[in-house]
Amino acid sequence: MNNQNSQPDPEQPNHQDSTADTQDFTLLNRYWDAANYLTVAQIYLQENALLQDPLKAEHIKPRLLGHWGTGPGLSLVYVHLNRLIRNTGAKVLFLAGPGHGGPAVIANLYLEGTYSEVYPRVDQNHDGLRELVRQFSTPGGIPSHVGPPTPGSIHEGGELGYSLAHATGAVLDNPELIVACVVGDGEAETGPLEGSWKAPAFINPARDGAVLPILHLNGHKISGPTVLGRQSDEQIEALLRAHGWDPVVVSGSDPELLHPQLAAALDDAHAKIVSIQQQAREHGVDGPAPWPAIILRTPKGLTGPAVVDGEKVEGTFRSHQVPLSGVRENPEHLAQLEAWMRSYAPETLFDATGRLLPELAALAPEGQLRMGANPAANGGANPVPLTLRPLENYALDVPAPGATKHETTKVLGEMLRDIYLDTQDDPRFRLFSPDETNSNRLGSVFEATDRCFMGTAHDGDDHLSPDGRVMEVLSEHLCQGWLEGYLLTGRHGFFATYEAFAMISASMTVQHAKWLQHARELEWRNPVPSLNILLTSTCWRNDHNGFSHQGPGLIDTVLSLASSVVRVYLPPDANTLLAVSDHVLRSEDYVNLVVVDKQNHPQYLNIDDARKHAAAGASIWHWAGNEAPAGDDGGKAAPDIILASAGDVPTEEILAASWLLQSWVPDLTVRVVNVVDLMVLAPGDAHPHGLSEKAFAELFTTDGEVIVAWHGYARAFHQLLHGRPHPGRFHVRGYSQQGTTTTPFDMVAVNGMSRYHLALNALDRVSGDFAGARELAEHCHGMLAKHESHIREHLEDLPEIRDWVWTPPQPPEGV
Amino acid sequence: MNNQNSQPDPEQPNHQDSTADTQDFTLLNRYWDAANYLTVAQIYLQENALLQDPLKAEHIKPRLLGHWGTGPGLSLVYVHLNRLIRNTGAKVLFLAGPGHGGPAVIANLYLEGTYSEVYPRVDQNHDGLRELVRQFSTPGGIPSHVGPPTPGSIHEGGELGYSLAHATGAVLDNPELIVACVVGDGEAETGPLEGSWKAPAFINPARDGAVLPILHLNGHKISGPTVLGRQSDEQIEALLRAHGWDPVVVSGSDPELLHPQLAAALDDAHAKIVSIQQQAREHGVDGPAPWPAIILRTPKGLTGPAVVDGEKVEGTFRSHQVPLSGVRENPEHLAQLEAWMRSYAPETLFDATGRLLPELAALAPEGQLRMGANPAANGGANPVPLTLRPLENYALDVPAPGATKHETTKVLGEMLRDIYLDTQDDPRFRLFSPDETNSNRLGSVFEATDRCFMGTAHDGDDHLSPDGRVMEVLSEHLCQGWLEGYLLTGRHGFFATYEAFAMISASMTVQHAKWLQHARELEWRNPVPSLNILLTSTCWRNDHNGFSHQGPGLIDTVLSLASSVVRVYLPPDANTLLAVSDHVLRSEDYVNLVVVDKQNHPQYLNIDDARKHAAAGASIWHWAGNEAPAGDDGGKAAPDIILASAGDVPTEEILAASWLLQSWVPDLTVRVVNVVDLMVLAPGDAHPHGLSEKAFAELFTTDGEVIVAWHGYARAFHQLLHGRPHPGRFHVRGYSQQGTTTTPFDMVAVNGMSRYHLALNALDRVSGDFAGARELAEHCHGMLAKHESHIREHLEDLPEIRDWVWTPPQPPEGV
């Protein structure tokens, strides 16, 4: 057995010249005992944390909650990683996939000292130990799984499936980092986790760090076996090998035999990582690297009660949660618990003051090498903001509003291209997408970088190389999971995806927002760059894909989350998209949804106006209405009708409706309001972006009728208005599931969003008689009928709709 | 090569004694030509469908949409499956994972005749061909992917990832069925698909049918390579082998070489399936079966243009969608398109009337053996409803409302147990759950059946066997995907899952609802049993799991879907849960959410009252209020305050609030309304369950103040009230993301849902002075403070909260 010391860190004084021999493991095993002891103590005790008194019922918590089964395995890995770090100086981040192993991870953080540094009330003494055990799963305390309050963590152990994706995202452009990612055999059954094994196709050892998966098979879930747990070592090795890993199995139930095996496996894995990276960094990459992986097979609840009430517990699903129940009421269980806890001999682990004995404390690494203190887990060591070039570099020339069309997202591609160029020396930006970069018109990024792929290149491949930093993989889970890992370690990114299919990772969006919300409450947590999600191929433009490809539901999902964290933008055109993108890329700790279609759309605002519009969140578009200019009459009268929109297709339709109304009914005063930051609609006490009452009234008056053309479900718009004056005057046309048809005009028609529907809605809400109103209504009904038959005959929109652009309204010919 | 004819179907007259020799393949290749020709024709043509005239620009559609690249591979598989079916009489269902291959699948359905039978306007002649090409991706036509309008389909080809899960669900308890499931190498990158490969651990050859995966590697997605597409045959074989499959590779670009290879592979696969099943059915099962699988590697867009404008197209990502663009405007492209289409020699495939030549038509199977006519794809051949026993068998004895507690979901387990017992002879019910059956208190099912697992059994396993029909796998995607496949083929089921983590498969719920909505519009589609989702471990009871485990978001997701399809129930107690379950298990074509917590909760209604309550959807609980009995005053006065609730925890809190109000403020008249069917709140024009104005007013009056304690996000409740009289009088307390705390009382407190908060809310809304109101307010504030300190000290609720049960209200001691 050779100890690998390939990357010594000269600042780390405590390298041992150890070998994986037995002397080491006596101490290490006692350290593991301490971790296991504290794990049990957290689950059961509210007093007498070190068992200095005989255990009594009143020491036991009134409610026993938590998970024991995964704990010993997690601690085993943790203490062996400590050993590896001390021997090698490796910078290791620990990801606990089995998140319910919270008490084990916290036990190790406490033992290495990081927990007390972050939470001084949980100090290294009796009082601190009492806090440690009492806080676990109790009111006002900490949850039973790893989460934002856990030092050294970037991974919430609640919703299973994303540990390996988060680990992969964390190592991208983090060349010195090793993420040791423990994957439980429960989590290993989830789709997202199974999909994550393909990481070797995307990790470049020349520039990225390394993920070291430790697939921990304890064989059982809450009440049944795991699929992998019942497969042979060979079968599991073959599975990981097929995904490109170089796995090794460590298996057993006798700690004396396990320790040297696991130590050797970790030493070997580290040596392989160093060798792969050295080779790649000195000689370049050559296909996907055979990254080491460890398959660790130990009994569930190892060192816990073997048998309880005559039933086997250790090594079975019965050790999943609380192996001994009713301890307060059942003296036998109480005695068994005491015997179990005393089996770790706490008096030989902690001194009389409650402090871990020095010879054990010396087994933990020091300073930032402790896994609970790895700066990567707290937004990165030195998070560097992006330097963004002036938007004028990308701005479309918009000589007249609405007169020209352009693919709205194309300019964003140019902006992202320059971000890639400007971060070449300090790579900290990546675009993630399920294979849609060109399709999303973001292809300009390929002037600066390639698609990342470690696999074989073929002739005819387009911008594909191991050095590329555009991450394309047909998995929303991987795109978002990688990005989350990248962001939580302090880097920046964009996730561009199909609007309807953004629901695939909606639960991840929810969990990430919860993480950010919780992390913001913790003073010691650094802010991290925002999760920016670009939703394109929207519900209104699915020319051929149809009903299954339409769904604005992610907006609704996001709206229910904490207002401190979520933002939704619907830029109507390219320059506004630039202004919004500039903002979201500078922002921190948000989930920003940016909803914009990739297709050709009319362009309205020059870059200056777009900046102002985006900053305001919503503005009156005076050029699109016909009110007298402000000041002319010393105080504007309210318009006869307000037309409001949010979203690109709805904006085009509302403008065309305004144009129809002004053209046919010239005496009608029309105001057009465009909303780009959805949250301005909410009252100020509901969202920090909410407009003041005054600002809201300046846009929408306090009682005027408003026809709204809105991108999403009408209810989403309505609910934001809750608390605004007379919300019933807002007549919202949005997407609905009324129809199952295929094509754009049909969808606009089915959902009542066409310019003709909107103009008719407006006429319905206007009080008083206006010359031309009846004729316009007839025209609208006629056009709807004519268009319906035209598209079925000619398979495309009527020319007067297809080719319509904004021009100064004038009476129609012949009227 | 031996042709396998192990399961001849005597009713099928047209078995051939063919061998996989070359004679067959000339004809078969022409049939494939016909399929490819019609695929191209659908993408490009609006007229001149058989190219009987020289191709002109006006024959081309104005907008070119659709996907060519995957088509030839899909058709290749289809025509070879036709051959297999004719040779063996196998009952094969075709699942097209690459859903954008719609035109290829439709071409094959048209050629075999099923398409015209379902859609007579698309007949087997010129007019029909014109319809066929014109309808594709055009206004009012059909989408570009497989979906509900596609005969023979149970799988929407929109959101990728679920083909193999749907295939697996379809074969469970369908012993004669073979699902040939084409998985594209794009879809193969998704997490849900990768997770689906573990099917052999759950398919029992003695009682289930067979899934035959055909992993079709054409190497490219829309603009990049696929991960699998660049791996070696050996690596991919090893991957499938590790998952338990027995794969074989068929690879090539020369049809003459491909045909015999693929025919042999399919013959062999069929023989293996038959042999595995025979062995299991005659001698019992012995571990997971090594099911055959085919890895088919052919160039993307095979037979299409090799080079366009100097760039390689066939075999590259450039053939993904429309390989020749701008055909109307570009004469070269027009000529190239014509040459491409004529390369299939349509005049040698169709006769002068536009009908497929008889020698080709004879290659398709006949009758229900045609894959487009497989009855399994249309709700099953003979869908049999469940026979449910009287609910009295399971009903809890509830002598007095609210006086006793019980684990609410336990009775449902007993009901499901009997469903298992009663379907033993005709198995058509399964429970699917991510390993939560016991935890969800549904464990009574194990009196009737086991957990299904084909892997090795160990001592200490609990109710685990290959014969079990409880499907536990730690993957929401698999549970729901399997269930969807099971339902769409006409069987019944329940998906029980953790409320917060139901968002993991929210996108599947959306897609399934869209499928049902679309299918209901198609007269030829049979109804299918509803998708029943039991959400338990709800947001209000996550004693130790905390913030990441709380989320009622699936309700919001479902509310935005079509009202014709979605239903949401929140039974307050066990007997109401029984009544609701009885209903949803009998229902068809719905997505039913049933939201109820598994923990101990007060029980209110006996089974008769529960039935009435569930049928009404919402009722006044007279025993919980203090209005004079109806009739006493000949026409009730409105109560001073209405307390309404929906959901178990909110109901307990609102009842306790009612109890406090009546006890402390005896002159106050209080009405308590409970809502179990959420949709009754919506106006009748918004949802079919919406109460009439009169019925709504009978519960809530037209202007009385209503304090609502509601399970989910307040906005979800508010939006349902849109259109009801004076919705502003409903003051809704629901779950919000305000706090990140851990424990039940904290959560109730943070979200303002505690009995004390609700009582205070009620006092705020009451007009007039009432004796005792001030004292109650002081009491409530005092209790909130006292409880807060108590739980932090004693780690559990105050006894007067923990032990509270409903009793007749009486003045508090000392008042």
Residue written as tokens 């954008």? B100
Quick check: B637 pLDDT over 80? no
* Candidates B63, B439, B718; nearest CB to A223: B439
* Candidates A158, A226, A455; nearest CB to B225: A455
Q: A673 phi and psi, to 5 degrees?
A: -115, 135
Q: Across the interface, do A556 and B557 touch by the CB < 8 Å criterion?
A: yes
- Contact list in B for residue A68 (CB cut-off 8 A) is none
Q: State the amino acid at position B83 in one-letter form.
A: R
* Segments of chain A scoring below 50 in pLDDT: 1-20, 634-635
CA distance A720 to A708: 13
- The token pair at A162 is 């994303």
- The token pair at A406 is 């352009």
Q: Across the interface, do A191 and B477 touch by the CB < 8 Å criterion?
A: yes
Residue with more model confidence, A414 or B728:
A414
A512, B33 Cβ separation under 8 angstroms? no
Q: What is the pLDDT of residue A383?
A: 79
Residue written as tokens 């989930």? A591
What are the counts of helices (DSSP H) followed by strands (DSSP E) for chain B?
Answer: 24, 22
Residue with more model confidence, B69 or A15:
B69
Q: Across the interface, do B139 and A475 touch by the CB < 8 Å criterion?
A: no
Mean pLDDT of chain B: 93
A543, A605 Cβ separation under 8 angstroms? no
- The token pair at A709 is 């053309």
* Candidates B143, B435, B556; nearest CB to A545: B143
The closest alpha carbon to A561, from A591, A588, A584, A538, belongs to: A591
Residue written as tokens 């490219």? B220
The closest alpha carbon to B118, from B383, B370, B355, belongs to: B370
A334, A328 Cβ separation under 8 angstroms? yes
* Candidates B436, B544, B722; nearest CB to A144: B544
Q: Across the interface, do A737 and B192 touch by the CB < 8 Å criterion?
A: no
Please report the sign of the dihedral spanned by the C-alpha atoms of residue B144, residue B146, residue B149, residue B155. negative
* Candidates B191, B553, B795; nearest CB to A192: B191
Q: Other C-beta atoms within 10 Å of B391: how many?
A: 18
Q: A211 phi and psi, to 5 degrees?
A: -100, 130
Q: How far is B527 from chain A (nearest CA, A)?
A: 18
**Residue of chain B with shortest Cα separation from A138:** B795
* Candidates A138, A147, A458; nearest CB to B225: A458
Q: Across the interface, do B225 and A521 touch by the CB < 8 Å criterion?
A: no
Angle between helices B71-88 and B255-283 (to 10 degrees): 50
B45, B52 Cβ separation under 8 angstroms? no
- 3-state SS, one letter per residue, for B699-722: HHCCCCCEEEEEEEEHHHHHHHHC
Q: Across the interface, do B222 and A435 touch by the CB < 8 Å criterion?
A: yes
CA distance A278 to A270: 12
The percent of residues above 90 in pLDDT, for chain B, comes to: 83
Q: Across the interface, do A140 and B514 touch by the CB < 8 Å criterion?
A: no
- The token pair at B237 is 């074989």
- Give the residues across from A304 on adjacent strands: none
- The token pair at A132 is 């440690």
Q: What is the pLDDT of residue B814?
A: 58
Q: What is the pLDDT of residue A222?
A: 87
Mutate to test the interface with B, among A100, A133, A198, A230 (most CBs of B within 10 A): A230
Q: Does B223 contact A at CB distance below 8 Å?
A: yes
Q: What is the pLDDT of residue A378?
A: 95
B59, B47 Cβ separation under 8 angstroms? yes
Q: Does B501 contact A at CB distance below 8 Å?
A: yes
Q: What is the pLDDT of residue A631?
A: 53
- Contact list in A for residue B794 (CB cut-off 8 A) is 62
Residue written as tokens 């578009």? A621
Quick check: B744 pLDDT over 90? no
- The token pair at B542 is 């996550």
Q: State the amino acid at position A253 in one-letter form.
A: S
Q: What is the mean pLDDT of residues B797-810?
A: 91
Q: A202 phi and psi, to 5 degrees?
A: -130, -5
**Residue of chain B with shortest Cα separation from A64:** B544
Q: Across the interface, do B158 and A438 touch by the CB < 8 Å criterion?
A: no
- DSSP type of residue A677: B
Start-to-end CA span in chain B (Å): 94
The per-residue pLDDT for range B242-285, each reduced to its tens digit, is 999 999 999 999 999 999 999 999 999 999 999 999 999 999 99
Q: What is the pLDDT of residue A661?
A: 98
Residue ranges in B395-538 assigned as alpha helix (H): 410-422, 476-488, 506-520
Mean pLDDT of chain A: 93
A96, A126 Cβ separation under 8 angstroms? no
Helix (H, G, I), strand (E, B) or coil at A564: coil
The per-residue pLDDT for range B209-248, each reduced to its tens digit, is 999 999 999 999 888 899 999 999 999 999 999 999 999 9
What is the β-pairing status of strands B730-735 and B706-713? Answer: parallel
Residue ranges in A351-488 assigned as alpha helix (H): 358-361, 410-422, 476-488
Quick check: B629 pLDDT over 80? no
Q: What is the pLDDT of residue B446?
A: 97
Q: What is the pLDDT of residue B144?
A: 86
Residues of B numbered 677-736 whose beta carbons fall under 8 angstroms of chain A's beta carbons: which are they? 713, 715-716, 718-719, 722
* Candidates B549, B556, B746; nearest CB to A556: B556
Q: What is the pLDDT of residue B622?
A: 96
**Residue of chain B with shortest Cα separation from A543:** B137
- Contact list in A for residue B462 (CB cut-off 8 A) is 223-224, 317
Q: Does A19 contact B at CB distance below 8 Å?
A: no
Q: What is the pLDDT of residue A4?
A: 38
The per-residue pLDDT for range B397-440, each reduced to its tens digit, is 999 999 999 999 999 999 999 999 999 999 999 999 997 888 88
Q: Across the interface, do A500 and B158 touch by the CB < 8 Å criterion?
A: yes
CA distance A613 to A590: 21
Q: In whole angstroms, how large is the CA radius of gyration of chain B?
A: 31
Q: Does B7 contact A at CB distance below 8 Å?
A: no
Q: What is the pTM of this model?
A: 0.96
**Residue of chain B with shortest Cα separation from A521:** B740
- DSSP type of residue B475: -
The per-residue pLDDT for range B16-41, each reduced to its tens digit, is 444 445 557 999 999 999 999 999 99
Q: How far is A679 from chain B (nearest CA, A)?
A: 15
* Candidates A187, A194, A795; nearest CB to B194: A194
- Contact list in B for residue A225 (CB cut-off 8 A) is 453, 455, 458, 461, 464
